[in-house]
Each structure stands twice: as C-alpha cells, then as structure tokens.
Structure 1
Amino acid sequence: MYYLVAVIAEAGMLRDRVDRMEHGAVAMLRDGMALVPVSQALFEELTGSEHHGLFSERMPPAFDRVLAEWSTHGPLAFVQADFFGGDGDQTATVWRDGAPAWGPVHDRRFDGPREQWPINAALAQLGLRSAGWTYSSNPTLAVDLFDQIGLGMERDMTDWLDHARSGATPAPYEDLVRELKRRETEEALAGIRPALNGREIMTLLNIPSGPLVGAATRRLKELHLERGPLPHEVAEAELHTWAHEQGIA
C-alpha cells in the first residue's frame, strides 16, 4: 500500500507557509526538498471546507487559490498517489508564480519511461535532476527522482505526518547506497565457502586460532567474490601476500 496527497517544494518555503497552522507539518526530504501532507484537517484549515479522499483533475477553487498564493513564494508540485497490491495511479500538477505551470498529469498504466511518470516529471519541472545513482538490485536502472528525494520513506499519510512531527532528517542518498551495498556484500560473503578452512589457514600462516583467522577467511571470501572460486595454490599465494601486507608473516 502507498497513499500520498501532498505539496512538495523547497523546504524553507514550505516551513514559512505552514509555520502558524495548527495542522500544517513539514516532512523533510532529500536535495533540500520537503513535503506538506494535505490531510483532511489541513485542507479544512486552509479552505474552510471539507474534502475526502483523492482530488479529481479539477481542484476545488478554494484550494487552487491556496496553491496559487504559495507558488508566488517558489515553485511547488501538488502530488497524489494511491497504490495497493501493485496497482494504482499518480496525479501531479506544478504551480509557479501564482498559476499552474504544468499538468495536471495523471497515469495509471505506467507503461512509459519512469522519468515521465507524473510525480517524477513534476519533480523535474521543479528543477531536480538525477544524481546518477542506480538501484543496487538492478545496476542498469537509474534511481528515479521519486526515490532520490525519499518519497518512498513512508507509506501513508499517517506515517508522513509522524515523520513531519518528529523533525527527522533523511540520511543523504549516498549513505543509503553505501549501506545497501555493504549489506549485499555481507550477505554474499556469508554464503561463500573459502578455498581454505580455518585449520589450513592456521597451518599455512603459522598463527593460532583467533581474530586473525577470521580476517584471513574474510580475505579469501572477498577474493572469491571478486574473481570466482580460487584454486588451492592460488588461495595460498594470495593469503601469503595478504599476511605480508598485514605484517603477520
């Protein structure tokens, strides 16, 4: 499940807009961006009227006026997403200088390039650009703007409101990429059987049982991960080289 109705813009601009509102909350994203979850309570506070669920492509005039006024302080995107079990839809509109500048764009098929999906396209309209990252699970697929700024961190409006009220700041995407790669490496190493077992390593390097044996075993696993299975004699030679570099032998 994923459900979001929100205004996305530069963080400082959004803070200024909702600073004195009872139901306004700013959830920090990456790349200097943030979002304001448009809850039912906030909608009523902003417009003085009720609205339930997602908006159609024609916005209520009172909310249009709010978005128009906010956009005089900086460009913004109003986005909606509703997914369950892999099916769903997105709608996005960009406002700039007091008027709609792009959209609304709606999609429920998602059969085009990811950068053309409504929310990704709206973020590009705000000036965001790809950082050049790829998904660790699929290195040929570029991370889209939706994930780059952190829109996948929470799954529904309640989570986003909690995120906003906590004041949490998301880790830089570079840190997340490094952590994901580290986890994948550790999982891969755990499944590798090294060319030499612990007893053979102790005999080869003339070392007792202990942390050094674990370090040597890890080195053999890393070499296996880089090159594939090592012949016994190659593993011994590599381990001698490693031990010399470590000052062990």
Structure 2
Amino acid sequence: MPYELDAVIGPFDLLRKATGQVREAVVAPLHRRLGLLPVTRPLLEELAAPPVRDGAGRRFTLLSPGLAQLVGRWSREAPVAYVEASFFGGDGYQTAAVWRSGGMAWGPAHTWDFSGPRHEWPINAALARLGVGVDGPPPTPYHDLFAEVGLARERENDGWLSAGREAAWAAGYDEWQAARLAERERRARAAAESERHRRLPDVPVPLDGRQVMEVLGLPPGPRGGAAVRHLQDLCIERGPLTPAEGVTALRAWAAEHDER
C-alpha cells in the first residue's frame, strides 16, 4: 500500500495555539504529547506559502520559504519538525528538518536508502531531536520512533485530517489523552464483562441454561450466562458438582450479586 506524508510535527498544544486562527489547519494528536499538522495545498494557500517548484513547474517540496519562516517562528517555544515521506511497493524516500529557537537547527536530511539503522532515517532522526525517546534505552538498529509516536496509524494526509477533526473537540492534549485513556478502560471493562459471561467450551455443568434461569428466576440474557460461567468456574476449581450442589452454589452467587 502507498504511504504519503507531508506534515509539521511538534508539541500538540503549541501547534494548536499557533494555527488556531487558520481555517485550513487541522492538528492530529500523536503519542508523546506531539501533534501532526498535515501540510495541504489549501493550507499553503491560506498561509500564502506556496510550494517550491523546479524549472519544469513540478512540485519539489512543500517546504517553501514561507512555510519554513512560519515553522521557525513556532519553534521559538519548542522544537518543531517538517517531514515528508512517500512510499509505494517498498520503495520511497523521507525528508526531514528541525527548527529550534527560531531557526533551522538540523537538516534538511533526505534519503532513498533505508538499509542503515532506523534511528538514522530522517524522520526518526528528527523525532529524536524533538525529544522522543530521550528517556528510553539507547537506540537499537530496529528501534523505530516513527512507529512509537504513531505515524504508521494513517497512510495519507486525508487520514490525518480526519484524525485531527475527530480530536478537535479537545481543548488540549491532556483532555484528549484523558478521554482516550477513559475509552481504553471502558473497552477493557466491557471485554472483561463479556469474558465473564462467556461459556467455556468442554466444561460441563450440573444444570443447563434453562434450569439456571428457573432457579434464579432470570429471563434469557447475559446474567444467565454469567451464572452458568460461575458454575463452570466452580467445577474447574472443585471438580464436578451434583445438581443439588449446583442449585446451592447458584443461590449463594445470586445472594452475593443481588439476583434474588
């Protein structure tokens, strides 16, 4: 599958603040408190920063002098990177540059050759200069900051634009992150609840589902499944139960869970 990326990467809250009045600007959240601003033609037109073209009129890069000036201005508060990538069928290139304290501090670096250590690839090298991975172990040949911050999540700028719009409700990175963690916890609880109701294969119980519902006075539904699963867990823990023991165990379980 093809992969295309033209973007400014920096602290999420910084990019949000810097582009707050820019109609075409959309900042998508990444990991490590970073944000990604997709660089699109409408954005460049609004910023009056058209892309550089070669003598034949072809686009050379979206990193125009006007955009570089803006990125430099944003970097007075924190390091900011501009990155480009284009891949198809395993072949492609990366370009990256980093600004700090108002000026370009590194790059532009460009390569078509990805046979060397990953931390030397342009985008990974730029991310390292933004502070990604500084608190981790020394890089290995396979350490990929590109994946660590989530740049593999989308494969083109349209995907990043959608991701940014989905996060537009959040006032800042902390609010977005809190909602993300809350949603992850909700899904984990839902998965645990579903697992608790799931009947285990090849574990017999002394009462079938109909008998369980009759004992507990339950209608068909997940609570009946949870009761059957409870009997299965008891059978695994104690060994086979008689029907009478199953009824006793169910009533004790129901009392504990306010079923009857």
* Cα displacement (A) at 1:37: 1.3
1:213 alignment partner in structure 2:
224
Tell me which moved more, 185-194 or 8-17: 185-194
Aligned match of 2:139: none
TM-score normalised by structure 2 residue count = 0.60
For 2:24, the aligned partner's letter is: H
Structure 1 range deviating more: 73-82 or 163-172: 163-172
Match of 2:173 in 1: none
- Whole-angstrom distance in 1 between the partners of 2:206 and 2:134: 46
* Unpaired segments ≥5 residues, structure 1: 133-142
Tell me which amino acid in the other structure corresponds to 2:228: T
Q: Which residue of 2 aligns with 1:93?
A: 97
Distance, in Å, in 2 between the alignment partners of 1:109 and 1:11 is: 28
Structure 1 residues 86, 181: closer, same or farther in 2, change over 3 A? farther
| Alignment match, 1:109 | 114
Q: Secondary structure at the match of 1:12?
A: helix
Specify the SS of the correspondent of 1:109.
Answer: coil
What is the CA distance between 1:39 and its match in structure 2? Answer: 1.0
For residue 79 of structure 1, the aligned residue among 69, 83, 87 is 83
1:55 pairs, out of 34, 38, 61, with: 61
Any idea what SS the aligned residue of 2:61 has?
coil
- Structure number with larger C-alpha Rg: 2
The answer to whether the Cα contact below 8 Å between 1:28 and 1:168 also exists between their aligned partners in 2 is no
Gaps of 5+ in 2: 137-142, 171-175
Partners of 2:134 and 2:153 in 1: CA distance: 18
- Cα deviation, 1:12-49, whole Å, max 9, x if unaligned, reads 33234334445333334454432221112333434345
Hey, what's the Cα distance between the residues in 1 that align with 2:94 and 2:134? 20
Partner of 1:126: 130
AA aligned to 2:160 is W
Residue 217 of structure 1 aligns to a residue whose secondary structure is helix
Q: 1:4–1:187: structure 2 CA closer, same or farther, 3 Å change rule?
A: farther
1:13 and 2:14 matched: yes
Change (3 A) 1:71 1:204: closer
Percent identity between the two aligned chains: 30
Once residues 86 and 190 of structure 1 are traced to their aligned partners in structure 2, the CA distance between those partners, rounded to angstroms, is: 42
Partner deviation per Cα, 1:201-230 (whole Å, 9 max, x = no partner): 776895455454311234467x69xxxx94
Distance 1:202 1:42, change over 3 A: closer
Matched, 1:26 2:27: yes
- 2-side partners of 1:187 and 1:119: how far apart? 41
The answer to whether the 8 A contact 2:15-2:27 is kept is yes
Contact 2:199 2:228 in 1 (8 A): no
Preserved CA contact (<8 Å) 1:27 1:160: yes
Letter in 2 for 1:196: P
Residues 8 and 35, structure 1, Cα contact 8 Å, conserved in 2: yes
Alpha-carbon distance in structure 1 between the residues aligned to 2:113 and 2:240: 55
SS of 1:199's equivalent in the other structure is: coil
Note the alpha carbon deviations across 1:34-69, whole angstroms, 9 max, x for none.
22211123334343455566739xx55454434333
Q: CA deviation at 1:248?
A: 6.9
1:233 aligns with 2:239: yes
Checking the alignment, whether the CA contact within 8 Å between 1:93 and 1:100 is kept in structure 2 is yes
**Given residue 199 of structure 1, which amino acid in structure 2 is its aligned partner?**
L
- Identify if the C-alpha distance between structure 1 residues 217 and 12 changes in structure 2 by more than 3 Å, giving closer, same or farther: same
Instruction: Say whether the 8 Å CA contact 1:46–1:66 is kept in structure 2.
Output: no
> Once the two structures are superposed, what CA deviation does each residue of 1:76-135 show, in whole Å capped at 9, x if it has no partner?
01122334456554433221113333442646637745x665434433322244999xxx
- Closer/same/farther in 2, CA of residues 89 and 10 from structure 1, 3 Å limit: same
Q: Does 1:42 align with 2:38?
A: no
- Given candidates 199, 204, 214, the residue that maps to 1:196 is 204
Aligned pair count reads 231
Task: Describe how 1:130-145 pairs up with structure 2 within 5 A.
Answer: none
**Equivalent in the alignment of 1:160:** 160
Aligned partners of 1:203 and 1:101: how far apart in 2? 74
1:170-204 Cα deviation digits (max 9, x unpaired): 55554565467568765898694151358347768
